[in-house]
Structure 1
Amino acid sequence: MLAIGSDHGGYDLKCRVMEHLKERGIAYKDFGCYDKSSCDYPDFGKAAARAVAEGECDRGIVVCTTGIGISIAANKVPGIRCALCTDPYLAKMTRLHNNANMLALGGGITGENLALEIVDVFLDTEFSQGENHIRRISKL
């Protein structure tokens, strides 16, 4: 199961990502926000990240206007490796090399089609299990 969260600036893209996950048959839990009323990204980024860190969800996707603030918030939760990705190559590499367990997107930065491609690559790429990558991750 995936944890999903956004603030008001990422709400529209989060909703489209959830539709896409449904189309792919991927279960998710929405940690908010639930409309476009102004709200604070740390509340929703941290809630989704806690669900991943505690094992309630396997991975997570968080969205704010730029993806920056919500990725910072998620990364404050111990055990989270949240990567802001703006193209599919970054999504692939963060899974292969960093075993990122959360993806951040910028709802005001990344278009819908590109965002969905990034989501697919993030979800479909497995960690390489390379000794060098495991060693580096352990130092984080």
Structure 2
Amino acid sequence: MTNKRIVLSSDHAAIGMRQTIADHIKAQGWEVVDIGPTTPESTPYPQHGEAAARRVASSDCALGIILCGTGQGIMMAANKVKGVRCGVCSDAFSARMIRQHNDANLLSLGARVIGDALALDIVDAFLNADFEGGRHATRVDMITAIEER
């Protein structure tokens, strides 16, 4: 991947894990665009999912990682943005597959579901996988067609 710019966002439940991930991927040469939040006051996950998704959909960032308590709500919000394919993962295999087979451009994690060490393994699997194309491209095109209807 030539564009190594990645957006990170979370709600209040995942600030610590988000910062751990940011440090980890910066060390791998990624330019991290961390759009917060930075304080622990309750904040609604939909606005953070949408904000990160718009950075990816606009090509400002090649990929994104978003987090909330379970990863589910923020993922649902992100997937409402046209051009975004986001999956929530709790294991490295699924993270690799959403890149290889679904051309996912955002990864969602649940900070109350997994620990930091597993989160970093999942992030590495996601970032080190490439879309395989072929028969998978046909299916991704079908997803895009749904978005256009």
Q: Could you say which TM-score interval applies, normalised by the shorter chain? A: over 0.9
Is 2:36 aligned against 1:32? yes
SS of 1:34's equivalent in the other structure is coil
1:82 matched residue in structure 2: 86
2:20 matched residue in structure 1: 16
CA drift at 1:24: 1.4
Q: Which amino acid aligns with 2:98?
A: T
- CA distance in structure 1 between the partners assigned to 2:39 and 2:120 by the alignment: 21
CA root-mean-square deviation: 0.7
- CA distance in structure 2 between the partners assigned to 1:95 and 1:41 by the alignment: 23
1:117 corresponds to which of 96, 121, 131: 121
Q: If the length of structure 2 is used for normalisation, what is the TM-score?
A: 0.91
Gaps of 5+ in 2: 144-149
Is 2:139 aligned against 1:100? no
SS of 1:24's equivalent in the other structure is coil
Q: Which amino acid aligns with 2:91?
A: D
- CA distance in structure 2 between the partners assigned to 1:43 and 1:33 by the alignment: 11
2:70 matched residue in structure 1: 66
SS of 1:11's equivalent in the other structure is helix
- CA distance in structure 2 between the partners assigned to 1:42 and 1:30 by the alignment: 16
SS of 1:25's equivalent in the other structure is coil
SS of 1:39's equivalent in the other structure is coil
Question: How many residues get paired?
Answer: 139
- CA distance in structure 2 between the partners assigned to 1:93 and 1:37 by the alignment: 34
C-alpha deviations, 1:44-75, integer Å up to 9, x for none?
11101000000100000000010000000100
SS of 1:29's equivalent in the other structure is strand
Q: If the length of structure 1 is used for normalisation, what is the TM-score?
A: 0.97
